[in-house]
Structure 1
Amino acid sequence: MKNILTVLFGLIVSLTFGQIEKIEPPFWWSGMQSNQLQLMCYGNDISKYNIEIEGITITDITKTENSNYVFITIDTKDVPSGKVLINFKENEKVAFSESYEFKARRKGSVDRKGFDSSDVMYLIMPDRFANGNLDNDSHKDTVEKANRSNPGGRHGGDIQGVIDHLDYLNDLGATALWSTPLLEDNESTYSYHTYAQSDLYKIDSRYGTNEDYKRLATEVHKLDMKLIMDYVTNHWGSKHWMIQDLPTKDWIHQWPEGFRRSNYRMTTQFDTNASTVDAKGCMDGWFDTTMPDMNQSNPLLLNYITQNAIWWIEYADLDGFRVDTYSYNDKEGIAKWTKAIMDEYPKFNIVGEVWMHDQAQMAYWQKDSKIGAIDNYNSHLPSVMDFTLHDAVTVMFDEDGNSWDKGMIRAYENFTNDFLYPDIDNILLFAGNHDTNRINEIYQSDINKYKMVMTLIFTTRGIPQIYYGDEIGMLGNRDKKGDGDIRRDFPGGWPDDKRSAFISETSKDKVGGRTQDEEAFHAFTKKVLNWRKSSIAIHKGKLLQYIPFNHVYVYFRYTENERIMVVINNNSENQELDMTRFEEGLKGLKMGKDIITDTTIDVSENIAIPAKTSMIIELQ
């Protein structure tokens, strides 16, 4: 009898297939923290039907001005894994039925641990990293085709290419992988960056499949690394299928003239003196012509992107989000979105892009901020990006003259404002990313300046992030040559590349490896990152800093059982440190080892440090 019912069930579904074009989320899980799920059903004139779901309580049905949509809210408490039938009825008769599945939840899913200050995050642009599958460089499902000769075109990098080189990342010392978005972007040009997404439930076919993305997570976890998804809440792409047929007029922010660009003044979000028109111009203006601004104050839209984010965490087994343009969203809506995710996964981590140039303004956006509390706002966002430190490291190593406010004092002053942040260890640090000039372009391939920059990024408080290719000295200037120049292909990521920077210069492989210059950048990065993996003082220790004298900046990272002394000499001349000044940091310790040079150092005596050099001294 059971087999007959199963056949009949399949027959019903197959006969009615096509009545609904989409149900999203496409499936869900039993045993989730939240017992509420809102199904979006889309199909021609679908709202005319009455709806029942066998064995499940429907708590709300929302129909909009667009009859092609209906939103069904259901109670999922105690719903077992398996399939159920959604019946669409007309005149009390079932017109057609659709199958919907609840999957068994991954064991321990709720307790997944996000990235933290023990990690080093490696950022890639997948289209420019490595091409592991030549067959998907162009795809029938998407408009733009591969053209590697075009700096702003698709180059063919994909998920398989990333998987093929995970051992390289692990060997380098990275412990977390952040990829710029991989979801479908069907714009006719510049679709490679994938920030103008056209389907939130589908990996772009030129990168691979949803299963490939899940496989990436599995392979990442095998290496004890973490996978972070770049999530975009503020805008979608103009070719998104829902933008082509809006569920509601206020699904996106619309303007009388059609398109109005954001004024990008994020300060209007909290400025007590801001005019309403300027605040609206930031939050509701479009990021670009191909990126409609989403209305997070619309509860249907907010539910949609919240469930989509949770779906990807659960489906792909993710360890974190980096949220693009976080502070451009409706701030109440994005706080609800963030809280819902953190309620579902209390140990998860989310870092928001808050591209501002003042510590108080950035700290406003971190969870439990006392600054945000002034206007009763709490974003619930665990982590923000340290753009003020980025501002400092991109200029201070070229500032050699005596000055009150230039050179290494910029780093010192940045950290004097740490008291503004509720959780200073949960701050993302970086010298560059996919939107900034390459750090080695700024410092003209000076390996000593690279070492000073990265010594600071890798050893101060917070979570370091390195941009792909910086570890081999890659260059790029977006101001002169556009975004494509800072997003160059990683050498060796394509089968026809003449050499591969994924392998050392001494490799016996047929393809040539890193050049001597590239090897120097790589060797330093690898050495420090792999040492960092085991340093509890760097992961969890407090920061004790000293005012820079003569462009020499000294600070300590320390716990009860471990002390690290960091010295950065940005002076163009050799310097000698009077060690009696640092007794508070040394705590009576007399010997140490510089992990950069493997040199034993007597810290009870004055230390000589060469010009434009850094030291990381593990005190013993």
Structure 2
Amino acid sequence: MKLASLLLLSSFIILSCGERTPSKVENLTANIEGDGWSKWGPTLPIYLKGDSSVLFLSDYLLYEEILDSAIWRFSSDEGESIKMNIGDSQRVVIQPKPSEGIGILSLYTQNSSRDIVVLGSSKQIVEISTSGGRIDKAKSVFIAGTMNGWSSWSTPLKRKDNGVWSTILELSNGEHAYQIITDGIWGVDPSNSDSISNGMGGWNSVLSIKEEGPPPVIHTGLYEKGIKIIGSEGVSVLCFIDDRFIKRVTLLSKESYLLNFDDISNSRKRSHLRLYPVKNGVRGAEVLVPLSYGSPITSTDDLDRRDWHSMIMYFLMVDRFNNGIPSNDAPVNDEAIMPIANHKGGDLTGISLKIADGYLQRLGINTVWLSPITKNAKGAWGLWEDPRTEISSKFSSYHGYWPISNTVIDPAFGSRMEFDILVKMAHSEDMNVILDYVANHIHQDHPIYRENPDWATSLYLPDGTMNTERWDDHRLTTWFDTFLPTLDLAKPEVYSAMTDSALWWVENSDIDGFRHDATKHIPEVFWRTLTSKIKKINRTKDRRLFQIGETYGSPELISSYISSGMLDAQFDFNHYDAAVAAFAFDGDFNSLAKSAIESLKSYGAHNLMGNITGNQDRVRFTSLADGGVKTTGNGKFEGWTQNITHKEGGHGYEKMQLLISYLMSMPGIPCIYYGDEIADVGGNDPDNRRVMRFNDLNDSEAATLSWTSEWTKLRSSRMSLIYGSTTIKAISTDVLEITREYLNEISIIILNKSKKEIEVNLHNHHASRSDLVILAGKGYITGNTINIPPFTAICIGKQD
């Protein structure tokens, strides 16, 4: 097998020698006027923050487009619209808020127009008050929770004359877990008896905000003459083809409407029918139907890697994945670095070999996210130490996040030719390649810092304290470490240079997108500038790149970076935390269902958010799940001092399989962290970055690998799992049901994390029992019931 892989790889080397051959799409002329936006993709909906919101209209324009006028249609009544006053900055205020929860912002340029969906805020004004117990003696009181990204400092409470501490917040519908911090001490709210498990052996207080009314729900079906929209009487549906509003329909007593194929006909290879239901001022979840030359796509065979909703991502750390060329290994010869924190030899050719031998294809992924590959600092840097042990260690730059160049590939990872070969091989297998790009900081040895020290923020704050790891209160200026200067990306000369270096990869390689490190530590002007430059590439060379960011924080902070002028998506760490609590720590599925619903409300029913199994900054999921790493602390001490292995009886393998099934069943982009497909173990960084093992797997590891492959391929084969509407509900604390529907296809996923076999009645589903078959997982159907063994999942479904 190794010889065959090398021969296949050598054929790519021969074909790749000499100048890089432009890809087919790069030879195309500029897009036909009026069709370019379809190449960029439908404009992301605008989510208003309150009664009024500030917008940069340039976010919604293509390269060289000039905006002539804009009209804000805040009501279904065509007479209720406002022609907007557009200044040179194209910065406008959207008001009044849409009267029915949804409006349309129409933009007009010289040769085209587009209609952008604007969704009103559903937040409510809430006063949070607390008193009693430790609160009465407190000198300072703060609230930290899901509403502010668990920030310990951003939301203070004020003391009233009666001794009660309170604050006013705008909160979205749903449940908000929180704690009250008094004089630096965290704890539950003594004034609130409602609480939920935090999944780690403790409790959080919980505040519930009820919706003004139930959201309308619509279903769609494919018929001979069109798409039937089905819903309750009185529901209005706004219908769009990408950015073109086509009609508004209201469901009458028949409770259905036939949208004729003539209504959605167009000549584009890919467009999207978008349906937004609303009733009594409350909007429901969007329905999304991809079209091919105006016809609804009913088979995943008609999708490709450019259909981003169909992506299944695989994140690998290059140095730890596979060593293809041992001669380029470059461990740092310094006894201060323990082996766990030094280079291990993985490289770009090693990844190409795993494509050549079919590993990634068998796994079922179609998008590879590479850790940073640019040249990094050499030597020993940083220090880990803990008073509980004599063990200490410095670090090498094996991970790639300490750049001394933004365009030159580190020799330890390979050459430019080897990178081009990797991308070509991936594309030949219909896989995307996403590159991890570091813009926020550089290493102190980087020429940029040596030649322009004033391009960095100050290492010290005005009060003389060191500005390191101040992730929230100084998030745009803080340094990650004393040898990692944070760039002042608010300065034009700095963001211009750094966006140019990112664009270099677009212009000089065939990558398909970026994962952007430390997104929230970078000002919005950087993202707008970079995306504007990428739009130029899109407009002139027909290339569209996917951009996904990394932000830990509240949904409001995370979503603030997502728009058609900035990023396409971010990783949903709040959703991951809820999944860890449910699957690893035996939390309540009701809490996970509520968290998932909140994510769909915050980012959209068909969002592109990354849903992870884990990452390079977290304790391995399996070690949390089986108890190999305790929940106290951050797992670094255990990673450095213990030989963490699978803990018998902890059901770590089964819980990882449940997590995989869950992620493959939900909207968003599932992302497998390398090693999670075999339920690998480990503490926190760097123990969660062990060398990938492909051989000599034990039976449980092999079974987890097979399970992962089964569910990735299930997702890739079902339109309902990619584009379907979503209903998620907890049947009990240990049983979760997810229903995905797309046109005439339905997929029902049931997850059982209890220790006993369970029986679920299927009478609530409108599909005929005889039509349902088992598609993946474990279990069996008897009459109107389905039986699922303990610690497992099953998918059943039908398709006309």
**Normalization by structure 2: what TM-score?**
0.54
Q: How does 1:5-16 map to 2 (within 5 A)?
A: none
Q: Where does residue 318 of structure 1 map in the other structure?
A: 511
Which residue of 422, 425, 438 maps to 1:219? 425
Q: Where does residue 456 of structure 2 map in the other structure?
A: 252
Q: Deviations over 1:381-430 (max 9, x none)?
A: 11111111210121212555xxxxx4211221112211221574311111
Q: Does 1:175 align with 2:371?
A: no
Which residue of 498, 501, 505 maps to 1:305? 498
Q: 1:154 to 1:399 in 2, by over 3 A?
A: closer
Q: Where does residue 285 of structure 1 map in the other structure?
A: 478
Which residue of 503, 519, 523 maps to 1:330? 523
Q: 1:199 to 1:145 in 2, by over 3 A?
A: farther
For residue 322 of structure 1, give the secondary structure of its aligned residue in structure 2.
strand
Q: CA deviation at 1:330?
A: 1.8
Q: Where does residue 711 of structure 2 map in the other structure?
A: 528
Q: Where does residue 550 of structure 2 map in the other structure?
A: 353
CA contact (8 A) 1:394 1:431 kept: no
AA paired with 1:353?
E
Which residue of 433, 453, 456 maps to 2:662? 456
CA contact (8 A) 2:496 2:529 kept: no
AA paired with 1:540?
Y
Q: CA deviation at 1:597?
A: 4.3
Q: Where does residue 689 of structure 2 map in the other structure?
A: 487
Q: Deviations over 1:208-265 (max 9, x none)?
A: 112211111011111111100001111111111221221xx53111245696214101
Task: Give the whole-Å Cα distance in 1 for the aligned partners of 2:410 and 2:465.
Answer: 28
Task: Give the whole-Å Cα distance in 2 for the aligned partners of 1:258 and 1:292.
Answer: 16
Q: Does 1:200 align with 2:406?
A: yes
Q: Where does residue 78 of structure 2 map in the other structure?
A: none
Q: Where does residue 80 of structure 2 map in the other structure?
A: none
AA paired with 1:237?
H
Task: Give the whole-Å Cα distance in 2 for the aligned partners of 1:239 and 1:30.
Answer: 39
CA contact (8 A) 2:607 2:667 kept: yes
Q: Deviations over 1:493-543 (max 9, x none)?
A: xxxxxxx42xxxxxxxxxxx3222221111111111122222111111111
CA contact (8 A) 1:428 1:465 kept: yes
Q: Deviations over 1:259-304 (max 9, x none)?
A: 6214101xxxxxxxxxxxx4xx221111222221011122222122
Q: Does 1:546 align with 2:743?
A: no
Q: Where does residue 41 of structure 2 map in the other structure?
A: none
Q: Where does residue 793 of structure 2 map in the other structure?
A: 614
CA contact (8 A) 1:177 1:227 kept: yes
AA paired with 2:774?
D
For residue 408 of structure 2, give the secondary structure of its aligned residue in structure 1.
strand
Which residue of 602, 605, 611 maps to 1:420? 602
CA contact (8 A) 2:584 2:624 kept: no
Task: Give the whole-Å Cα distance in 2 for the aligned partners of 1:550 and 1:199.
Answer: 50
| Greater mean deviation of Cα atoms: 383-392 or 592-601 | 592-601
Q: Deviations over 1:135-178 (max 9, x none)?
A: 11129xxx768999610011111111111112211111111100
Q: Does 1:438 align with 2:620?
A: yes
Task: Give the whole-Å Cα distance in 1 for the aligned partners of 2:555 and 2:352.
Answer: 37
Task: Give the whole-Å Cα distance in 2 for the aligned partners of 1:431 and 1:194.
Answer: 21
AA paired with 1:333?
F
Q: 1:31 to 1:617 in 2, by over 3 A?
A: closer
Task: Give the whole-Å Cα distance in 2 for the aligned partners of 1:329 and 1:144.
Answer: 34
Task: Give the whole-Å Cα distance in 2 for the aligned partners of 1:548 and 1:342.
Answer: 46
Q: Does 1:131 align with 2:323?
A: yes
CA contact (8 A) 1:593 1:600 kept: no
Q: Where does residue 353 of structure 2 map in the other structure?
A: 164
Task: Give the whole-Å Cα distance in 2 for the aligned partners of 1:577 and 1:214.
Answer: 51
Unaligned residue ranges in structure 1 (runs of 5+): 1-28, 35-111, 266-277, 369-378, 401-405, 492-499, 502-512
For residue 475 of structure 2, give the secondary structure of its aligned residue in structure 1.
helix
Q: Where does residue 56 of structure 2 map in the other structure?
A: none
CA contact (8 A) 2:323 2:345 kept: yes
Which residue of 550, 566, 578 maps to 1:380? 566
Q: Where does residue 47 of structure 1 map in the other structure?
A: none
Q: How does 1:505-516 map to 2 (within 5 A)?
A: 513-516=696-699
Q: CA deviation at 1:349?
A: 1.0
**Normalization by structure 1: what TM-score?**
0.68
For residue 712 of structure 2, give the secondary structure of its aligned residue in structure 1.
helix
Q: Where does residue 362 of structure 1 map in the other structure?
A: 558
Q: Does 1:344 align with 2:344?
A: no
For residue 151 of structure 1, give the secondary structure of its aligned residue in structure 2.
helix
More strand by share: 2
Q: CA deviation at 1:440?
A: 1.3
Task: Give the whole-Å Cα distance in 1 for the aligned partners of 2:335 and 2:673.
Answer: 24
More helix by share: 1
* Cα RMSD after superposing both structures: 2.8
CA contact (8 A) 1:306 1:341 kept: no
Q: 1:588 to 1:147 in 2, by over 3 A?
A: farther
Q: CA deviation at 1:360?
A: 3.3
Q: CA deviation at 1:592?
A: 2.4
Q: CA deviation at 1:343?
A: 4.6
Task: Give the whole-Å Cα distance in 2 for the aligned partners of 1:341 and 1:144.
Answer: 41
Q: Deviations over 1:354-403 (max 9, x none)?
A: 122x33332232216xxxxxxxxxx6211111111210121212555xxx
For residue 201 of structure 1, give the secondary structure of its aligned residue in structure 2.
coil
For residue 341 of structure 2, give the secondary structure of its aligned residue in structure 1.
coil
Q: CA deviation at 1:453?
A: 0.8
Q: CA deviation at 1:449?
A: 1.1
CA contact (8 A) 1:528 1:595 kept: no
Task: Give the whole-Å Cα distance in 1 for the aligned partners of 2:505 and 2:333.
Answer: 25
Q: 1:422 to 1:450 in 2, by over 3 A?
A: closer
Which residue of 400, 404, 407 maps to 2:588? 407
CA contact (8 A) 2:778 2:788 kept: no
Task: Give the whole-Å Cα distance in 1 for the aligned partners of 2:786 and 2:362.
Answer: 32
Q: Deviations over 1:294-317 (max 9, x none)?
A: 111222221222222222123220
Q: Does 1:605 align with 2:793?
A: no
Q: 1:243 to 1:484 in 2, by over 3 A?
A: same
Task: Give the whole-Å Cα distance in 2 for the aligned partners of 1:342 and 1:523.
Answer: 40
Q: 1:435 to 1:472 in 2, by over 3 A?
A: same
The percentage of counterpart residues that share the same residue type is 25
Task: Give the whole-Å Cα distance in 1 for the aligned partners of 2:750 and 2:428.
Answer: 36
Q: 1:178 to 1:458 in 2, by over 3 A?
A: same
Q: Does 1:475 align with 2:681?
A: yes
AA paired with 2:458?
Q
Give aligned pairs, total: 454
Task: Give the whole-Å Cα distance in 2 for the aligned partners of 1:390 and 1:554.
Answer: 18
For residue 747 of structure 2, give the secondary structure of its aligned residue in structure 1.
strand
Q: CA deviation at 1:550?
A: 4.2
Task: Give the whole-Å Cα distance in 2 for the aligned partners of 1:196 and 1:258.
Answer: 24
Q: CA deviation at 1:612?
A: 2.1
Q: Deviations over 1:469-505 (max 9, x none)?
A: 1111210111xxxx121000112xxxxxxxx42xxxx
| Greater mean deviation of Cα atoms: 542-551 or 184-193 | 542-551
